[in-house]
Structure formats: C-alpha cells, structure tokens
Amino acid sequence: MPIEAVQMLLSDDVASRNQGYKQIFEERAKLISQLTALISDPENHVRRPASVQTAMWILARLRAPEGVNVLVTYIGFPLVRHPEAPEHPRLVTGGMFNKTIGQLLPAVPALIRIGEPCVEQVVNKLATADSVLEIKACQTVLKELSCRRSVRAKLEKAIKGAHPRKRAQLEKALKMLAEQPNAREGIGASAKKTE
C-alpha cells in the first residue's frame, strides 16, 4: 500500500481523502488478486508449497472474502494434488503425525478466520467432494463456524438438492453440528489459535 495514499487521508481536502481511500482499496484488490493467482498456479503447488501456504495465511489475516473461492478450491492443499500439477507437492514441513486437519491443510484455518462469506462455497464443496481429506476439511470448517445459523440452513438446503450418493456426507456434517458444544457459545478453539 503506497504511503502517499495514507498521507492523502490526512488532507483537509475531501477529494484528496477520497482519492487516498480509493487507492488503498485498489491496492488491496491487486494484492488479493496476486495472492489468489499464486495459490492457483499448479507449479507453485509442486515447487513452492510454502509460498502457497503463506499466501493462504495472508488471505486469512486480511479476512478477504475475495479469496474464498480459491481457498475452497484448494482446501486439500498440500495433501490433495492440484488437478493440473505434474506431480504431488513435497511433504508438509514437520511431518503429518499428531496434527489436526487445520494444521495439515492451511486453507481450513484461513476459511474459518474469514467466516460467514465462505459457508455457502464450503457446503457446495462438501456436496461434490470425492477426496476424504477435502470432505473432512469442509466438515471441520463448518463445525468451527457452527454458531452461525446460516451453516445449518445452507446444509439443510444442500441436502434437499443433493445427489443421493453425496447426501450422506452432508447429513454427517449436519449431525456433527448438532453434537457441537460450541454451537451456542461461538467459534471453537482452533479458530482462536489463528489470530
């Protein structure tokens, strides 16, 4: 973000302040676009998985709803291979044992942090996912966001329109919400850890 734009906010001139405001949001939009392009590039999934992971974390810190689509698309990264990647990415740094799904898949805590804007796309991904890891990732996000009424409503709507083969995974997620103790208390501990 250019320092000049921030300096423009200090102006007594309304037009200058408005221009500074506009520039700041234009720069934010450009940054988010560059981050989503970095995440979408199959070469980065293979050769630079740490960069993809960092880009996902930045989208989370920005709480950027514009990043939801790419985060949901690659919710299984790095354990689920990019469909256009020539090979699998290198293993997760630090190994995989004794880690939660949110520690293994960086899109999970990113989506939890973004919150409400991701619910519909996560439900849609859950309704179409074939990968066990992606299904578990979607269920984890929805479970952590279960205090929001829209989660249950969108799951119930998706169940009605789901293919019978996929209905079971949506019903399982809905059942998990009913069993979730934090459904009335707010977002669970894993979302708090990402702050």
Mean pLDDT by 10 residues, the chain (195 residues): 81 91 92 96 90 95 96 92 70 64 92 95 93 93 87 89 84 82 44 43
Token code pair at residue 185: 């208390």
Query: What's at 114, amino acid-wise?
Result: I
Cis peptide before 117 (omega within 30 of 0): no
pLDDT of residue 192: 44
Residue 66 is inside which H or E element, if any? none
Separation CA 49–CA 38 (nearest Å): 10
Query: What's at 182, amino acid-wise?
Result: N
pLDDT of residue 190: 43
pLDDT of residue 189: 41
Q: 78 near 45, Cβ under 8 Å?
A: yes
pLDDT of residue 191: 43
pLDDT of residue 91: 54
pLDDT of residue 120: 93
Q: Which long-range contacts (CB under 8 A, 24 or more apart) does 40-43 make?
A: 40/70, 40/73, 40/74, 42/82, 42/83, 42/84, 42/85, 42/86, 43/85
Token code pair at residue 143: 């479970």
